[in-house]
């Protein structure tokens, strides 16, 4: 890797996922040169749905991406909470216009591939961002003045991979739940399997009854819950069934046994079983989490997003927290010229909030999967609360906005 004058300032980001690209865009808007290494040689449209709550949308709006995102996303009217015991609605939590007015930004649901392509197109159009696909960060080291990275560049002709080195001002580990920066560079404990598995499918929206197409559905049952919502501008429908299952594999798209999944939900209400029976095939994904309290920063190296605080998706904030992290990182680096101090300031700003969300996701895991009298009590409490109050309990989460947005 050739060394130029600006390389002394250059920041490296490992991982062109949601958090890595957000960070790169936020840094490039502050005229900071950045190189992003992504191990995947091509960006495939993988994954399924993600929720983009107003806190994340404030950041993406600040990056000029709201219009592009709205073309792909849907703003669900409400979250309809359903009992898997009775098949009846327990509560309807207003989103749509209500959430937008309350928080000043929309609550959207979107296919991960659409969010990723909006970020990627913006990154490709930014002169300050160098994107190196097919380039895996293998290791890194640092001294008082610089960080050195060791990279593995996949050969385009199928030959042996090429090893390359580079030197810059800092390294951001945005390399996701199975982070190399976390494990190898910072020598921290990796995320652990949670004993929960998510089954995911995306089907044409026209295959789904009309009354489900403008809301997020949340079915609560013993040891399992189901979430569904429209994606791809309302043309597709995302289904996720989350179960207690101790299956472990480090990949996003393992094929799942459809019949075994349907058997597992055999005693659920017909309306939910009917939805689960629609997809001809399912993928599954073993869910991981991390314990709060570890450092995210070591000198010129920092973790962000899932690499810092991988969490169960039960607060629907994995993407949201990595987007918030990206904005905070860029702001700290812009404000504080000394990179190690800037990274410490980023951690001080972010850690409590991200770990509070991580704990919320764990609490939701217990509450969503309650059984017997506990489940009855939960349903009674939710039924008794005015719908607006259920949303207001999350004001601290959705009401966040970056300081620059005022």
Ligand X SMILES: Cc1cc2nc3c(=O)[nH]c(=O)nc-3n(C[C@H](O)[C@H](O)[C@H](O)COP(=O)(O)OP(=O)(O)OC[C@H]3O[C@@H](n4cnc5c(N)ncnc54)[C@H](O)[C@@H]3O)c2cc1C
Enzyme catalytic residues: 229
In the complex, the smallest distance separating the C-beta of residue 132 from ligand X, rounded to whole angstroms, is: 9
Instruction: Say how far apart CA 378 and CA 366 lie, in whole Å.
Output: 11
Q: Which is nearer to ligand X, 46 or 363 (CB)?
A: 46
Chosen residue from 10, 12, 16, 118 binding ligand X by CB under 6 A: 16
Q: What would the two tokens of residue 3 be?
A: 């060394």
Give the CA distances from residue 155 to residues 38, 131, 148, 152, 224, in Å, rounded to whole numbers and listed in that order.
14, 16, 22, 9, 44
Q: For residue 289, state whether it binds ligand X (rule: CB under 6 A).
A: no
Residues from 249 through 288 that contact ligand X (CB under 6 A): 252
Q: For residue 83, state whether it binds ligand X (rule: CB under 6 A).
A: no
In the complex, the smallest distance separating the C-beta of residue 11 from ligand X, rounded to whole angstroms, is: 15
What's the sign of the alpha-carbon dihedral 284, 315, 55, 333?
Answer: negative
Quick one: which segment of 42-50, 78-86, 123-131, 360-368 binds ligand X (CB under 6 A)? Answer: 42-50
Q: For residue 180, state whether it binds ligand X (rule: CB under 6 A).
A: yes
Rounded to the nearest 10 degrees, how much is the dihedral formed by the CA atoms of 122, 124, 129, 134? 130
Q: For residue 205, state whether it binds ligand X (rule: CB under 6 A).
A: no
Q: Which is nearer to ligand X, 46 or 374 (CB)?
A: 46
In the complex, the smallest distance separating the C-beta of residue 175 from ligand X, rounded to whole angstroms, is: 4
Q: For residue 114, state whether it binds ligand X (rule: CB under 6 A).
A: no
In the complex, the smallest distance separating the C-beta of residue 228 from ligand X, rounded to whole angstroms, is: 13
Quick one: which segment of 66-74, 170-178, 255-263, 333-341 binds ligand X (CB under 6 A)? Answer: 170-178
In the complex, the smallest distance separating the C-beta of residue 61 from ligand X, rounded to whole angstroms, is: 18
Q: For residue 303, state whether it binds ligand X (rule: CB under 6 A).
A: no
In contact, 91 and 217? CB cutoff 8 Å: no
SS (H, E, C) 296-351: CEECCEEECCHHHHCCCHHHCCHHHHHHHHHHHHHHHHHHCCCHHHHHHHHHHHHH
Instruction: Say how far apart CA 59 and CA 106 lie, in whole Å.
Output: 12
Quick one: which segment of 58-66, 219-227, 313-321, 338-346 binds ligand X (CB under 6 A)? Answer: 313-321
In contact, 11 and 129? CB cutoff 8 Å: no
Q: For residue 229, state whether it binds ligand X (rule: CB under 6 A).
A: no
Q: For residue 15, state whether it binds ligand X (rule: CB under 6 A).
A: yes
Q: Count Cβ atoms below 10 Å from residue 156 Cβ, excluding itself.
A: 8
Q: For residue 322, state whether it binds ligand X (rule: CB under 6 A).
A: yes
Q: For residue 137, state whether it binds ligand X (rule: CB under 6 A).
A: yes
Altogether, the residues listed in the chain come to a count of: 406
Q: Count Cβ atoms below 10 Å from residue 363 Cβ, excluding itself.
A: 12
Give the CA distances from residue 89 to residues 79, 212, 266, 368, in Å, rounded to whole numbers and listed in that order.
10, 12, 19, 14
Q: Which residue has the tokens 């190399």?
A: 180
* In the complex, residue closest to ligand X by CB: 17
Instruction: Say how far apart CA 115 and CA 52 lie, in whole Å.
Output: 9
CA 311, distance to chain mean position in Å, is 9
Size of the site for ligand X (CB under 6 A): 31
H or E element at residue 99: helix 96-103
Q: For residue 313, state whether it binds ligand X (rule: CB under 6 A).
A: yes
Q: Which is nearer to ligand X, 174 or 302 (CB)?
A: 174
Q: For residue 327, state whether it binds ligand X (rule: CB under 6 A).
A: no
CA 289, distance to chain mean position in Å, is 13
Rounded to the nearest 10 degrees, how much is the dihedral formed by the CA atoms of 399, 401, 403, 406? -80
Chosen residue from 217, 318, 340, 402 binding ligand X by CB under 6 A: 318
Q: For residue 47, state whether it binds ligand X (rule: CB under 6 A).
A: yes
In the complex, the smallest distance separating the C-beta of residue 82 from ligand X, rounded to whole angstroms, is: 21
Q: Which is nearer to ligand X, 108 or 174 (CB)?
A: 174
Q: Which is nearer to ligand X, 239 or 382 (CB)?
A: 239
Chosen residue from 11, 17, 52, 237 binding ligand X by CB under 6 A: 17
Contacts with ligand X by CB under 6 A lie at: 14-20, 37-40, 46-48, 50, 112, 136-137, 174-176, 180, 200, 252, 305-307, 313, 318-319, 322
């Amino acid at each position: 890797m050739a060394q130029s004058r600006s390389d002394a300032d250059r920041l490296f980001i490992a991982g062109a996922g949601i958090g890595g690209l957000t960070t790169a865009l936020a840094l490039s808007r502050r005229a900071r040169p950045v190189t992003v290494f992504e191990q995947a040689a091509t960006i495939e449209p993988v994954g399924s749905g993600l929720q983009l709550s107003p806190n994340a949308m404030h950041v993406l709006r600040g990056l000029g991406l709201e219009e592009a995102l709205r073309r792909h996303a849907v703003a669900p009217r409400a979250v309809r909470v359903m009992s898997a015991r009775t098949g009846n609605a327990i509560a309807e939590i207003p989103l749509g216009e209500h959430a937008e007015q309350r928080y000043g930004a929309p609550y959207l649901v979107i296919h991960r591939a659409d969010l990723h392509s909006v970020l990627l197109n913006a990154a490709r159009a930014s002169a300050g961002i160098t994107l190196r696909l097919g380039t895996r960060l293998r290791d890194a080291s640092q001294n008082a003045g610089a960080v050195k990275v060791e990279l593995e560049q996949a050969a385009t002709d199928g030959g042996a991979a090429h090893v390359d080195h580079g030197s810059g001002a800092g390294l951001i580990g945005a390399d996701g739940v199975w982070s190399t920066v976390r494990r190898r560079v910072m020598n921290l404990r990796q995320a652990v399997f949670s004993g929960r598995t998510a089954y995911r499918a995306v089907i044409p929206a026209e295959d789904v009854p009309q009354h489900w197409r403008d809301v997020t559905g949340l079915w609560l049952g013993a040891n399992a819950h189901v979430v569904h919502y429209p994606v791809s501008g309302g043309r597709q429908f995302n289904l996720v069934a989350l179960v207690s299952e101790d299956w472990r594999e480090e990949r996003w798209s393992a094929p799942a046994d459809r019949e075994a999944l349907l058997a597992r939900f055999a005693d659920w209400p017909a309306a939910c079983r009917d939805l689960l029976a629609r997809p001809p095939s399912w993928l599954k994904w073993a869910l991981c989490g991390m314990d709060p309290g570890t450092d995210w920063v070591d000198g010129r190296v920092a973790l962000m997003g899932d690499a810092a605080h991988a969490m169960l998706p039960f607060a629907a904030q994995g993407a949201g927290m990595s987007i918030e992290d990206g904005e905070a990182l860029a702001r700290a680096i812009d404000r504080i010229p000394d990179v190690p101090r800037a990274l410490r300031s980023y951690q001080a700003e972010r850690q409590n909030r991200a770990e509070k969300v991580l704990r919320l996701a764990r609490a939701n895991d217990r509450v969503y999967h309650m059984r017997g009298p506990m489940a009855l009590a939960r349903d009674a409490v939710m039924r008794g609360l005015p719908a607006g109050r259920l949303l207001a309990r999350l004001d601290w989460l959705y009401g966040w906005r970056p300081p620059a947005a005022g």
